[in-house]
Structure 1
């Protein structure tokens, strides 16, 4: 299929396959597990409170205004939940899944503009099968949604860059998408694509050419779309909320973070895992790109995108794997172009150096990695051995198939083997592994037991921080009284009325030792790596 020119004469065949593929990758069993910490329960509960209160301006968690992120993601999740009248595991994940699909299609569209339809198609498949992309397309967080807006913004810019006649329209559409990204995660949706475009135009020595009325119109569009919400929250809850939203969760996180602080080289270690298995082809793909002087503009644009964002994120004090998501299409396109050249016999490197050695290395990692993983599971997590063995076998067989295809120069079959193997592995994880892990990660059964015991009596929570609290608020369906210190819990328990409090194990043990009155643990559960108790002052 991939070598038939007629397949790529129109967009329809590629788009149909990409839509079907992403439906299988991102939408299969989307509600097959409960909300997990961190963040999933938080975003779901904020959306639920929007529906219940009718207030879609101020995001609230447990009735308290939440300045973590702007509200676009919650608007989308709440809108999808309106027909049912309540947020569910499916409706909360739909924004990420849908934008994951759109991000893949945007990569195809950009790849088509950069190199042609086949490169766009291959690059889109590479992006869709990257571990971090798959994870975020199935997770209740803002990162997939805002990253897709970044992709679309850059795609609009490059198509406008190529097309003088439609430049204004493309740039205007890009400004609209960038504004929606800003309403999803804040100024990063402007800084990231804006810096990429700036670096590219400076390298091309064409910056002055693009400083036109179109740029001013784009800025005006951004201001008109973004400012009404910021103005509304300023008028409703004051300047502190806006300060925390823009300054504390952006500038402070960049320069002097209070969480996720990691060394500057963190992403050098992290990126290979999040772009596996395609990372093994990236060095050859970069060399292949550098050797092609006929595609200088494309090379500059992708390198400005990748290197600029990678350096930006590496300089930031706060680092998480998902932060790199906005740059992934750039390396997917570099590797996709390499595979297109391989399939067309246009590559600058020899078959041995360009494809055989990376593929053999990948096969060895997959075969021996599956054996090592089986040993670890058997020794540390024996309860998962039965369900993980088929996954390890599939991984090892995929590695063996990769080795055979590479050895016999079956290039199209090699690419298809990798893609299909990743689809099967992702499906097994979704259908079999995740429900098993869900028993250990979910707070839902504990919360349902809490509701049965506590009924309508006062219920508090202590020792569980705000970004971990979402599942407890969501699954109890209660507004919980939040305690910041032990003294507040003592005051809560010093009453003749029966009261209840959800506590982390370490906080419960400390409180039990210091409190003079009776303390009873009526229910407990291990949720992730934390043990929690339902505690009461009466049996």
Structure 2
């Protein structure tokens, strides 16, 4: 019980502290929140919509959960949009604790859960309105259920049923990965351990029927509502096909070899030792290793690569690393070498942090204080790590890393991220849009997907324009307020197009402008819905034209 309390205490602090303390930021957060907001407005929970159009990129469940929580809290906010990720993040910690307990014992489960909680990418995505923390909960629950069922002598159908139900719900969150990850984690392991007996077990039948029934029912309802083109776009063109071709996120096959250890920090430095430990140890340690390595290899073969795609591997990496800490003496090389690197890194970062804060004070007045609040704990932690190695106190070393990392995350959520909000949020730009927008005006976004404009203005639909000639026609025939990049504004001005610049603002590294043709002379020609629909057809399917 004390171990569960420790996990909930650390996990609750890291995942929930100041969760709504800054706005929803690109990429993804405003778009997903807007899809959920439009669900609430339309009362349509089967087929997601964005900007009033069918949204092909993701199935409905994650957005429906955000919509439900927002309805319960009274409004759609950054807090309500992020709550599902935080809740499912903490639940995943408990699953890892339970799975670690099954594999080795409660101590291994505790260490693994705390490692997962304090790994950077898991912390970050469990505090964002992103799909991946929710997906990771369902894939981990499926793996846990199948692992328990595969080791049970009787009533195996019950955990198998839970595993299949979790896969079905995960599929309604993010489609194919919800099936691929548990399959690669479980089937090869049990084929190696028990042969085809696991696959041919009749105890799978109730769960498989439930899984098939849920997905078939969803597919039939969706087919009746939207037709075959929607399902084809959702299940293949906008999702599975990106495995083979993805212009937006195409990266080399070795991308994750350097990306994953960095995003698994501060534990990434222990990952090579954890892999060696699992290979050398015994048959049971191969389970998290196979889970990790097979899924890692699969996603490495995909052309589309983003660090967040690997989040379902983080429980496996945490279990491997937790097992390493649980079973390895502090004076053994597998633990001593990465621990030395960690101690030196903490000392260097601790010394550098106050100086970095002083330098950043030119941009943010709170930076010196934040630098001191980060620097001194890091220096103390580095010294404690050296002391733990000198005294042979492994617990001191482990808890030092957990607590200082948790403190840095809390400090980040308390001081740093709210200070970055004016530079990252579209809310302030959208306030300027609303100040100039009047009834009868047309709100246009040029060469942008624009979901953040939908969310922060509350306006649906917004006219998306990608053709410069079309934009010129709009500016000459309608009353327009337009959001575009500053470089596109400069091109318009060079071509002699007369507009009034309402605001120029940098948001997330992009220089954006709000312009209008009002008060600069233009013909007021009312537009009809037919023209707007034609423009939507010109720009391509919904979701296209994401910001680079």
Name the TM-score, length of structure 1 as normaliser: 0.91
Q: Would you say 1:509 and 2:498 are equivalent positions?
A: no
Tell me the residue number matched to 1:424.
407
Local SS of the residue matching 1:176: helix
Report the counterpart of residue 310 of structure 2 in structure 1: 324
Q: Which residue of 2 aligns with 1:489?
A: 471
Q: Is the 8 A contact 1:76 1:95 kept in 2?
A: yes
Post-superposition shift, 1:401? Answer: 2.4
Greater CA drift, 24-33 or 357-366: 357-366
Inter-partner Cα distance in structure 2 for 1:487 and 1:450: 23
Alignment pair present for 1:310 and 2:296: yes
Matched residue, 1:54 = 43
In structure 1, distance between residues paired with 2:245 and 2:355: 40
Aligned: 1:531 with 2:511: yes
Task: Give the C-alpha shift of residue 228 in structure 1.
Answer: 2.4
Cα shift readout 1:490-518 (whole Å, capped 9, x = no counterpart): 222123x532111121222222323x442
Aligned to 2:379: 396
Aligned residues: 515
Report the 3-state secondary structure (helix = DSSP H, G, I; strand = E; otherwise coil) of the residue aligned with 1:264. coil
Find 2:188's aligned residue among 199, 205, 208: 199
CA distance in 2, matches of 1:258, 1:375: 40
Matches within 5 A, 1:59-458: 59-293=48-282, 296=283, 298-342=284-328, 347=329, 351-371=331-351, 382-384=362-364, 385-390=367-372, 391-458=374-441
Deviations 1:266-285 (A, max 9, x none): 11111111111222223333
- Higher mean C-alpha displacement, 250-259 vs 185-194: 250-259
Distance 2:501 2:473 in 1: 18
- Judge conservation of contact 2:354–2:368 (CA < 8 Å) in 1: no
In the TM superposition, residue 161 of structure 1 has moved relative to its aligned partner by: 1.3
The SS at the match of 1:351 is: coil
Q: 1:84 to 1:457 in 2, by over 3 A?
A: farther
**5+ unaligned residues in a row in structure 2: which ranges?**
520-548
Secondary structure in 2 aligned to 1:525?
strand
Per-residue Cα deviation, 1:174-218 (whole angstroms, up to 9, x for no partner)? 100111100000011011111222211222242234313332332
**Does structure 2 conserve the Cα–Cα contact (< 8 Å) formed by 1:457 and 1:500?**
no
Take 1:499 and 1:340, find their aligned partners in 2: how far apart are those partners? Answer: 64
Secondary structure at the residue paired with 2:363? Answer: helix
Give the structure-2-normalised TM-score. 0.90
Residue 502 of structure 2 aligns to a residue whose secondary structure is strand
CA gap of 1:370–1:455, structure 2 versus 1, over 3 A, is farther
Note closer, same or farther for the CA distance 1:85–1:486 as it changes in structure 2 (3 Å cut): farther
Q: Is the 8 A contact 2:442 2:479 kept in 1?
A: no
Higher relative contact order (CA 8 A, sep 6+): 1
**How far has the Cα of 1:254 moved from its partner?**
0.7
CA gap of 1:464–1:90, structure 2 versus 1, over 3 A, is farther
- Contact 1:151-1:329 at 8 Å conserved across structures: yes
Deviations 1:18-60 (A, max 9, x none): 1222111101111001010011000101111111111112211
Mapped to 2, the partners of 1:371 and 1:232 lie a distance apart of 60
Does the Cα contact within 8 Å between 2:354 and 2:375 map onto a contact in 1?
A: yes
CA distance in 2, matches of 1:412, 1:502: 55
Moved more, 311-320 or 401-410: 401-410
Measured after TM superposition, the shift of residue 356 of structure 1 is 2.6
- The SS at the match of 2:203 is helix
Q: Which runs of 5+ in 1 are unaligned?
A: 1-11
Closer, same or farther: CA 62–151 of 1 in aligned 2, 3 Å: same
Q: 1:461 to 1:379 in 2, by over 3 A?
A: farther
**Counterpart-to-counterpart distance in 1, 2:60 and 2:53:** 14
